[in-house]
Amino acid sequence: MKMKHYSVFRVHSSKIINWNDLRDEELELPYWMPASKDKYLTKVNAEKVSESVLAMIEQIQKMGYTKVLSLGSGIAQTEYHIKQNSNLEVVVSDNTNSIERLKEYQIFHDALLIDIVKDDFPANEKTIVLLHRIDTEFDNEDFKLIFDKCKKLNVKHICVVPTNPLAYSIVLNEFKTFILSIMKFKKRTFCGYARSKSSLIKLWFRYYKIVFEYNKEKPFYIIEAQN
């Protein structure tokens, strides 16, 4: 299943999502990137590390990796918890101006300004790539291209954290957003595409296959390059 994905924001009201605006707006708390390191640390430490992240760390280390490259990291809260709870080298990236703040804070091993569809990125067989809740950001062809690029870079494993892998949940969430927009007299903002697990698999199956699946709170998949 694939559906158009919409949100209703407190302040942000453009027809199509503008991540630079969201990162700068403190009232959009889940998406806001604080302008000081102290405030950033307060924000990312407000939520305890999840069992999902701990399971992710365990699997990454079992496979012998020492470096994680996160593509499309956003505020990088998950990446922060990975770094704080392991000895893994964590490199974050994004295509918004807020990545410069993360670079300035010097929390991660590096912070890179990357458009992951248009730009090259520093990954190879010694790197596990993390795609954390970025599946809504791309149409099918662009998302396929990311897996194609990873395969050509000899990336053997990718950790995919889907935004919402359950088909019934996608429909329910979009219905709730529609009702919320009516109740608040606000227009919905187009945020990309919501996909079920089966729809995601169709995008990477030529390049990768699932070798580990975490199905509890905050599911994730580890996919391995096809021969």
pLDDT tens across 155-185, in order?
999 999 998 766 667 788 888 998 989 988 8
Backbone dihedral region for residue 219 (phi beyond 0: left; psi -120 to 50: alpha; all else: beta): beta
Q: Is 56 helix (H, G, I), strand (E, B) or coil?
A: helix
Residue range 178-217, pLDDT digits in tens: 898 998 888 899 888 888 899 999 999 999 999 999 998 8
Residue 5: pLDDT band (50, 70, 90) is confident
- Cβ atoms of 127 and 90 closer than 8 Å: no
Tokens matching residue 117 = 């569809």
Domain assignments of the chain as residue spans, ordered by start? 2-225
Tell me the whole-structure pTM to 2 decimals: 0.92
CATH fold label, 2-225: Rossmann fold (3.40.50)
- Cβ atoms of 125 and 104 closer than 8 Å: no
